[in-house]
Amino acid sequence: MSRIDFCYEEIKPLKIPKKILKNHIQSLIKTEGNKTGNLTVVFCSDDYLLEINRRYLNHDYLTDIITFDYVENDIISGDLFISIDRIKENAGTYATSFLKELFRVIFHGVLHLNGYKDKTKEDVKLMRAKENYYLSEVDFSEIEK
Q: Residues 80, 115, 97, 94: is their CA dihedral positive or negative?
A: positive
Structural domain count of the chain: 1
CATH code at 14?
Answer: 3.40.390.30
Residue 114 CB contacts under 8 Å (≥ 6 apart), including other chains:
28, 29, 32, 34, 76
- Reported pTM: 0.96
Dihedral pair phi/psi, residue 72, rounded to 5°? -130, 120
Q: Residues 9, 11, 14, 20: is their CA dihedral positive or negative?
A: negative
What does the pLDDT average to over 21-43?
Answer: 98
d(CA 103, CA 25) in angstroms, rounded, equals 9
Nearest to 76 by CA among 17, 108, 32: 32
Residues 55-110 have pLDDT tens digits of: 999 999 999 999 999 999 999 999 999 999 999 999 999 999 999 999 999 999 99
Nearest to 114 by CA among 100, 99, 134: 134
Dihedral pair phi/psi, residue 61, rounded to 5°? -155, 160
Residue 134 CB contacts under 8 Å (≥ 6 apart), including other chains:
24, 27, 28, 107, 111
| Domain, as residue range, for 11 | 3-143
HSE-up (13 A, CA, CB side) for residue 17: 17
pLDDT of residue 1: 74
Residues 97-142 have pLDDT tens digits of: 999 999 999 999 999 999 999 999 999 999 999 999 999 999 999 8
